[in-house]
Amino acid sequence: MPLTITPTPRGLEGVVAAQTRLSHVDGIAGELIIGGYELKELAGRVSFEEAAHLLWRGALPGTDELRELRREITPLRALPEDTMRVVRAAAKAPPIDALRMACATLSLDLPDPDDIAPSADIEAAKMLTARFPTLVAAHARISEGKELIAPRADLSHAANFLYMVHGKEPNPIAARALDTYWVTVIDHGMNASTFAGRVIASTRSDMVSAVTGSIGALKGPLHGGAPGPVLDMLVDIGSADRAEAWVRNELKAGRRIMGFGHRVYKVRDPRADVLSKVADEMSAVHLEDRKLFDMARAAEQTILKVLDEVKPGRNLRTNVEFYTALVLQALGLKPRSFVAVFACGRVAGWCAHVIEQHTEDHLIRPQSEYIGQRGLGLER
């Protein structure tokens, strides 16, 4: 009997592709669960390293376990010279491209890059998580013609990144804001980049190869490319009193309003709630551009009002991209680097999915439905 293939929705939307203990997205309830905890229970309350341990090991670390994890990760921040050659060669490339190219070289620094045993995967995860911020910071410095700044072992994961970018020790509130941001974006269900990494890992390919593939998927503007355009939108609006006319013109022209609406969430993005609070905390003591920040918060309410009026029932609420733009610009980071900075948080989640997929050890091999012609003959 021939195999019967049931056509699936375009883009596999609604199709369950894997079982996972790592994260769950409920778009109707507006809920994001990370390793058994609602996001609001983690973000701002645990460090990025603790959240990474939760995903890699299945539980939050104790005091001694956290101290040991930090002791192991900190020395891994420095980049091999082979990797630095790639970063220098990619000086004019977008940061996410430089990260993708440089990431692929990191397997050269592993004793056995093809080892996919759980212990080897954990070690590779620590290395990738430690080095992603160094890669992004090094590329930022090189692309601006500045001297490189070596990582410091006495600074936290987030504080060290800001130090390597700006050349000065950051305000503790700024470092805490970035740490909270990275916890907020550490994992988010079976998104495109995570799925890409799991497909690669399912072939028994190695951790670095899978994560490199995930970066390639993240680069696409339909997945990770919107925080930068949010800032472009805010600059174009210019002032809060121009927001209503601006958004009506954009909607009339059929263009998307950046930072609003989400493919999954039909209510407010829970990550937006977390980052909104981060932005408020930063506004009291640390802002690179106070005028832009105040205008954005005022324009947000106007945009939501117009969206409800023009697109009733669509529930186009503020999403994580809007607040990502506000938080990262407040930290003095350049819009072109936003997607790569996002990857510095998501890498821990990608690694966790690779670990999980390797443990499952089952090839992901879906079917396709052929819709082309049949019976064509060659004319000689």
Residues annotated as catalytic are 262, 321
Please check whether residue 189 is in contact with residue 264, taking contact to mean a CB–CB distance below 8 angstroms: yes
Task: Give me the DSSP letters along 204-259.
Answer: T--HHHHHHHHHHHHHSTTTT--HHHHHHHHHHH-SGGGHHHHHHHHHHTT---TT
CA angle 74, 332, 318 (to 5 degrees): 100
Exposure b/e, 130-163, CB count within 10 A at least 16 = b? bbbbbbbbbbbbbbeeeeebebeeebbbbbbbbb
Strand pairing class (37-38; 31-34):
antiparallel
Give, as one character, the DSSP assignment of residue 260. Answer: B
Q: How many other CB atoms sit within 10 Å of the CB of residue 171?
A: 15
* CA separation for the pair 45, 42 (Å, rounded): 5
* CA separation for the pair 199, 186 (Å, rounded): 19
* CA separation for the pair 22, 191 (Å, rounded): 13
From residue 216, give the alpha-carbon distance in Å to each of 192, 292, 296, 329, 343.
10, 31, 31, 24, 11
